[in-house]
Chain A
Amino acid sequence: MAEAVAFYICAALILGFGALVITAKSTVHSVLYLVADFLCVAALYVMLQAPFLAVIQVMVYAGGIVVLYLFVVMLVNLKRPPEAHSDPRRLGRLGVAMAAAVLVEFAAIFALGWAKPASAGGALSPNNVEQIGRALYTDYLIPFEVASVLLLVAMIGAIVLAKREL
């Protein structure tokens, strides 16, 4: 009961902050709402008995990535809304297309039964850091390493792009 109440409060906060992210007038404010949103998602992970994921969510998303967003937004200082595309209806069409894509995705998840609870080796122990580590370094070793190589490539690419004369 208490858990359900907590879940609905969190879910309402997540949706509320999400709405504020896209409606806020100032870009810096919307980045701040995004941080609050990520913190509420972390609270959801705590409720799901996944403290490791919760902490990583705060550390990587709320604490790391959004700081970079904030830097960009602050230093670029977007005073007026971007008018990159001359066709005013283009954005509307894009929005409809993306909403349709998400709808199809949800439909596929329900139709194909992917929404079933994951059966990853029975009940989670409270110390699920070890379980995550074991899963990452045994069953999912190749995707894990591929992801790390991708990140390395992205990092080198960013350095090469930023420093023209190395």
Chain B
Amino acid sequence: MVEALILPLVKIVIVLVAVLVTVMYIVLLERKVQAWVQVRLGPMRVGPHGILQPLADVLKLFVKEDITPARADKWVFTAAPIIVLVPALIAFAVIPFAGDLTLFGLTIPGRIADVNVGLLYVISVAGIGIYGIILGGWSSNSKWALLGSLRSSAQLISYEIAVTMTLVTVIMLAGTLSMVGIVQAQLAKGWWFGFMQPVAFFIYFVGALAETNRAPFDLPEAEQELVAGFHTEYSGMRFAFYFLAEYANMIVVSTVATTLFLGGWLAPFPNVSWLSFLGLVPGWAWFMLKTFGFLYAFLWVRATFPRYRYDQLMRLGWKWLIPLAILNVVVTGLLKVLV
């Protein structure tokens, strides 16, 4: 009873709360990091150094007026933000946040579920999220929103191919689709897959930026051309859902990257004896540290690179990343057979 029902429920609540709090503070961190890069201070007013700014933002979004445009398709307009947010949150179900923990004599697996098709589950759930973007743009009955959503979905579909190809190489190395199995394979090989597959890691990173609509691939919300992209007509809580989903997706791709390429909850350098004290840090702390590092890279890239043009984006995706990813699969297969 405890292990079958209550434990997963507690873990689901913990993960949801952790994700929502992380989203709130990643937004603050993003503003701060960008401010520091541009030699500004960033939010300073609410609380010391603006530390309570996220609470003020959330309060503002809650009390803002929620407008549905005239002649919008009301049902679809309401459903679209939910369709975006739910897949972003349920993807966390298979992420292994830690190894097995023992608490009060009870062995607690550090994840909500370990399905043996975990990685495919993440990919397929991410595919459902595209509907929210297309439908949000279509149902608002506005040309900017429609064009933004078409761009956005074209971008997502294009980069999904390259990203999935890099995941194939990881699956080939690990020999399993289970997220826990992939981490254990890295433990067994003694190498994180990020070092064995630097090309795949790089393509995954670029694809992850594109799939989460982040700079330099934030074309769907190119302000100069499309106002705000697919969520132009959204306001209040429904806009907050899109916002939340975007940042939750950033966390999803960061946790997946940590699991696949950076050894998940494993401590670094297990075979260097004078660094063995690193093993004292609990696994979930390593996991959070690596995820945070990946998230920081997102913010850093946003503050550094200018936005791509639409044709450049498509050329990069189809003519460089996808062929490179396929070549990487072939080379990995050959090495696996030969070595």
Give the B-binding residues of A (Cβ under 8 A). Answer: 26, 28-29, 32, 35, 39, 51-52, 55-56, 58-59, 62-64, 67, 70-71, 74, 126-127, 129
Contacts and interface: CB of A to CB of B under 8 A. Distances in A.
A129 B177 contact: yes
Nearest to A127: B116
A129 B117 contact: yes
B120 A56 contact: yes
Interface in B123-153: 123-125, 127-128, 130-131, 134-135, 138, 153
Interface of B: 73, 75-76, 79, 115-117, 120-121, 123-125, 127-128, 130-131, 134-135, 138, 153, 157, 177
B127 A59 contact: yes
Given A29-B76, A55-B121, A62-B127, A74 B134 contact: yes
Contacts of B127: 58-59, 62-64, 67
A59 B121 CA distance: 8
B131 A35 contact: yes
B76 A55 contact: no
A26 B177 contact: no
24 contacts: A28-B135, A32-B135, A35-B128, A39-B128, A51-B115, A51-B117, A52-B117, A52-B120, A56-B120, A56-B124, A58-B124, A58-B125, A58-B128, A59-B123, A59-B127, A62-B124, A63-B127, A64-B127, A67-B131, A67-B153, A67-B157, A74-B138, A129-B116, A129-B117
Nearest to A77: B138
Given A28-B138, A55-B124, A67-B130, 6 more contacts: A29-B75, A35-B131, A39-B128, A52-B120, A59-B120, A127-B116
Contacts of B177: 129
Contacts of B131: 32, 35, 67, 70
Contacts of A126: 116
Nearest to B79: A32
A63 B79 CA distance: 17
Contact of A51 (B76, B116, B125, B157): B116
Contacts of B76: 28-29, 32
A58 B126 CA distance: 10
Contacts of B79: 32
